[in-house]
Amino acid sequence: MEAFEGMRLDKLLANSGFGSRTEVKQLLKNGAVTVNDVRQKEAKFQIDVAQDLVEVYGESVLYEEFTYLMMNKPPGVVSATEDNWDQTVIDLLDERDRLKKLFPVGRLDKDTEGLLLISNNGVLAHNLLSPKKHVDKTYFAKIEGVVTEADITIFRDGVTISDNYTCKPAELVILQVENGVSDVEVTIQEGKFHQVKRMFEAVEKQVIYLKRLRMGALHLDETLALGEYRPLTPAELTALTTFEK
Ligand code: URA
């Protein structure tokens, strides 16, 4: 027999984006919540998350322990949960998602676009960001200057950036060079502060546009407009959490 997966009703509602525990208590008091079609006002009422049908004003609550969102990050927005000046990626979420204590898994610079994972699973975030797990990140970049075969070799051997840090081997692919601007793809294993920009600075070139395309097995869904997001599919989540040993 399956184990009974019990959880307090107020906790389940709060974790599902229906507000703080206090706001949820108000919902319960207002008679907004039913469990298996029976009105329930008791915050500590135990729910079997695998079996019980919980509804708020008739809308069923799909309980998931964690949330995983893929965003196509727009430029001009910071990868943080709060900021005194700038809009954050969390500000771009729907109200329901904003209540779920989500955070960006890793950072993209304010002017960088593209694939950003947003979750509330701290263990997954830790694993994805750990250098030991070798989660590759691939970027498309426009570079002011002509990127050469010599740069490819320097990146492959490990380029030394400011602070005297030598990066792990990175793969650089030149897509095209036109009017002194190079389109490239670069895959790095780490996520040092401004890493891609500093790698190109080390070879005396400047990144003028940067977009993340991939993180491990997770590919940016190009149908997402800048600023849009969607939940990961089960297949994406499985692929993302299958780490190298
Ligand atoms: N490298 C950078 O320089 N900036 C980013 O946003 C990501 C990687």
At 4-17, the pLDDT tens digits run 668 999 999 988 88
Q: Which of 48, 109, 183, 221 is catalytic?
A: 109
* Closest ligand 1 atom to 198 CA: 3
The best mutation among 107, 136, 194, 207 to test binding of ligand 1, ranked by most ligand atoms within 8 Å of the C-beta, falls on 194
pLDDT in tens, 45-84: 999 887 899 999 998 898 888 999 999 999 999 999 999 9
Q: Which residues of the chain have pLDDT under 50?
A: 1-2, 245
Give the domains, in start order, of the chain with CATH numbers.
7-60 (3.10.290.10), 68-131+223-243 (3.30.70.580), 136-215 (3.30.70.1560)
d(CA 138, CA 215): 7
Q: Are 106 and 80 in contact (CB under 8 A)?
A: no
pTM greater than the 0.75 cutoff: yes
